Structure formats: structure tokens, C-alpha cells
A and B are shown apart, each in its own frame.
Chain A
Amino acid sequence: DSGVTQTPKHLITATGQRVTLRCSPRSGDLSVYWYQQSLDQGLQFLIQYYNGEERAKGNILERFSAQQFPDLHSELNLSSLELGDSALYFCASSVEGSNSGNTIYFGEGSWLTVV
């Protein structure tokens, strides 16, 4: 158990809909990351938040948005869903700036299926 908690574990929704994925980082971790794993794109970095502020942005679509709340949990919002958005979405966390080498720990992922 990495200590990173994601909900829901599985989600099936229709095209055009909007969903929210939730993540609680490991205790003490200030950074939260979102990654997408799909069959054709592999593992891709979407976005990083550090202590409530957006820190880095990757290949995140404009239809997707994220935020990190004062209690450090994070939400990834996916809207106007398309079939191609079906993927495993990982949340991860780390203690940025530590001597641990910025190791990133992943949650179990949220399976999103768009039908």
C-alpha cells in the first residue's frame, strides 16, 4: 500500500458527460500528480500541484482540469468525455525538496470507461 488513495476505482460513463476523480496523497506529501495510462499513449504526465498551486503541466486536454485543496487532496475533472478518454488515471504524490530524491508514489488508479 503506497498510502495514496484514489476514488472511485472504477467508473463507467457516457460520452459527453463529466466526471470527477479524487485523490488523497500520502501523509506529509505536498505534491500531487495526475497521470493517464492508455493503450495507445502509454503513461503520460497530465499535471502537478504543489501545496495548492499548479506547478507543472503536461499533456492535459483543455476539457480536463484539476485542483488541489487546502487539505492537500486533489480532484481531476474530466468533461465532455469522448471514447478516447477511456483510460486508467493515476494519482501520485511526493515530498518535493526532500533528500529522498523526489520519489513519486502512485495510487491504485481510477479506471474510466466511456461508452
Chain B
Amino acid sequence: AQTVTQSQPEMSVQEAETVTLSCTYDTSESNYYLFWYKQPPSRQMILVIRQEAYKQQNATENRFSVNFQKAAKSFSLKISDSQLGDTAMYFCAFMKQGAQKLVFGQGTRLTINP
């Protein structure tokens, strides 16, 4: 079974700083997808970024980028120029190809301070 581990329960940075959230996963699959979801205080789950395991190029979405290290089974999220609206729980998630089930990590609570 796949597992996803987020080793940082909480993080706090100042506005405009860059922050990196860690995620590691365990799988024997070679084809899979990785996701970062954001859950603000409103509790809605919002997709931030996704990565296909077969792509070597790291995904980017505006201020959000990932560092995908397949051999190390690591998938970190970098937020550049952090904003107050980035304050949220961030969940790393894994999905193996052919399955539709997302396996989530326990989440990292990120606080952006003014």
C-alpha cells in the first residue's frame, strides 16, 4: 500500500518569503501522479499543482513549483513570494495510474505572517 508522509506539521514564514513544504511517499509503482492540495480556513480543498511521475520536468503554477525527485520518492512544494492568502493546510497526495483513489499525507499547517 502507498503511504504519504509530511514531516512538518506546522510552518510559519513572513510575507514575501519563500517556503518549502516537504513530502515523501512510498510506493512500488512506476507510473503515478502526485498532487498538492491547499485547504484554507474555509475548509475547501483546492488543487495547487500536479505532477506526472513519467515527466522529469518539475511542474510550476505561477508562484508554486515542485521539486520532484523520483528516485528519492520526494515531492516538495515551493511557494515563492508568499502571500497572506497562502495561509492554509497543505496536503500532499498520491495516486497510482489506473486507480482513482487519492492517498493523502497528514498535512502541513502553513501560516504567512504580515
Contacts and interface: CB of A to CB of B under 8 A. Distances in A.
Interface residues of A, number: 27
Contacts of A107: 44
A102 B33 contact: yes
Contacts, number: 57
A64 interface: no
Given A88-B43, A103-B47, A109-B44, A94 B101 contact: no
Interface residues of B, number: 21
Nearest to A33: B100
Contacts of A43: 91, 102, 104
Contacts of B46: 2, 106
13 contacts: A42-B107, A45-B101, A48-B101, A55-B100, A56-B101, A58-B101, A92-B45, A102-B33, A103-B35, A104-B47, A108-B44, A109-B44, A111-B43
